[in-house]
Chains A and B, each alone.
Chain A
């Protein structure tokens, strides 16, 4: 599980530590910093996938740093993982970005510590290579050949496993995600990781349908349970044009002419859950020819981050959706467990969560974001009589627009 996040000088998060649960729901007013948290997790993930230079270029270096000039000019990310490695303690993954003023070029440092042992000096900053390496700038930066001690070998294994997890076990859906029902044969997209806008959902569903029918059947079961009007989804590909289209058979055994926004968004959320069950070929990254490729253990959780999952959905469906999420988090059927991070503004949706799963995001007068737990008094004094969403609206623990 991703156990803790720490951001320093990242946008509105000046120095914020956030404990995560198997399900974590961020609530807060508009512009409180919820998206900055989600983007921060994605930035860390993408730094392992695409290379820092292209990533910083895409975000824009001004959009990475705090709202106000930073004294030491260092943007810091520290993520603590637990239970990723059966015989390891907590693993802390660190990325520091040092900007010279607010201009390129910047320098970076990475680090990893396990059980309190640091494997790299985080205070040593490297110049960022001036070429964009599509295979991952960070990956290139590590040079294992220089180190032959047992410690470095261990670190290499941990690091590779961490990168595989970031790359293949993290799914993001942002606030305005809306999957395309139909894509042309010319379009491409990842089969395993759903893009933030869910555009490529149909590719992943087609793979499930054609190659992993048991996963697709489970997907259909969940869709039927959540959305009573849905009977079965089918992906149809035109063999001439290669266009692909999602078809939905409804309860009255007819093909739906249109699919509502809420239904499509629910399909996208279900796809992120099920896509993590598709066995995927792993890269042979840094694996000597005489060794087996490192694989992600089956028990490794997948992380799913969804902004505003409640948008365009009926409250009754939301309640069932939360029930479904709990089933995947608790992992009763032996599938890979999931960790879920959500953001919401919706008090009705909030009613379905436990106070200990909720984090309150607020922005102070100074423009900086704070993140806190729901105070104990809510459970002790209010929840016997009122639902959590109702207590939230009192403004007793903040995170509202009032």
Chain B
């Protein structure tokens, strides 16, 4: 019997994306977001509140449920990785799985054959690319689709087939982590 993954994220849209990928891969599990509070700040906000979020998310856990933290690695924009290091440290301390997306979680979407076919692109690994979100937006614009930032995201999620892990190492690592989690057993 599968449980619930409480996925601690910067933004609810990240959780939606993970839900769509797992659903496309026919992995039956509920994913509920725990979203870092406040309106701005992204990863810095998440890292500053990560201990509180993990501790309080634990109060929601029932049998078969688990917690994971998903965050953008931002390896290009933040070479010092201060916030990421803090998140990793906290996750280790609380024995929580942490899932870095290289460099943003949208890299996994760019590597998806369904999305690539729909937007006339060749499937490849985008883990090392800068700002995959912007790349996805450009693809959409080139195909005269609504912007990723204004309504296009829903169409992108519909076209996912969930095979980005064939090319994306970070997605493959993330799925491996999740497969080992109690909520998927």
Complex Cα distance A382/B56, Å? Answer: 10
A395 touching B32, Cβ below 8 Å:
yes
A385 to B30, CA, bound (A): 30
Most buried by A among B32, B33, B56, B57: B56
In the assembled complex, the CB of B55 is this many whole angstroms from the nearest CB of chain A, namely 8
- Closest B-chain residue to A396, C-beta based? B56
Task: Name the distance in Å between B31's Cβ and chain A's nearest Cβ.
Answer: 10
Q: Is B66 an interface residue (CB 8 A)?
A: no
CB distance B32 to A386 under 8 Å? no
How long is the Cα–Cα vector from A397 to B35 in the complex, in angstroms? 11
Contact across chains for B56 and A395 when beta carbons are under 8 A apart: no
**Candidates B30, B38, B57; contact of A390 at CB < 8 Å:** B38
Within 8 A of B (CB), among A167-190: none
> Is the CB of B93 closer than 8 A to any CB of chain A?
no
Give the residue name and chain of the B residue nearest to A393 (CB): B35
Interface centre among A390, A397, A398, A402 (most CB of B within 10 A): A402
Q: Does B41 contact A (CB under 8 A)?
A: no
**The residue from B30, B37, B59 contacting A394, defined by CB atoms under 8 A apart:** B37
Given the interface pairs A382-B52, A402-B12, A402-B15, the reply to whether A394 lies near B60 with Cβ below 8 Å is: no
Bound form: Cα–Cα A398–B57 in Å: 10
A86 at the interface (CB under 8 A from B): no
Q: B35, B37, B52, B55: which contacts A402 (Cβ < 8 A)?
A: B35
CB distance from B50 to the nearest CB of A (A): 12
| Identity of the chain B residue whose Cβ is nearest the Cβ of A402 in the assembled complex | B33
Hey, which bits of chain A sit against chain B, CB under 8 A?
A: 365, 375, 377-378, 381-382, 385-386, 390-391, 393-398, 402
Closest 10 CB pairs of A and B: A390-B37, A386-B37, A377-B56, A394-B35, A394-B37, A396-B56, A402-B33, A381-B52, A395-B34, A395-B33
13 additional A-B pairs beyond A381-B52, A396-B59, beta carbons within 8 Å, are A365-B30, A375-B56, A375-B59, A381-B56, A382-B37, A386-B38, A390-B37, A390-B38, A393-B35, A394-B36, A396-B53, A402-B15, A402-B32
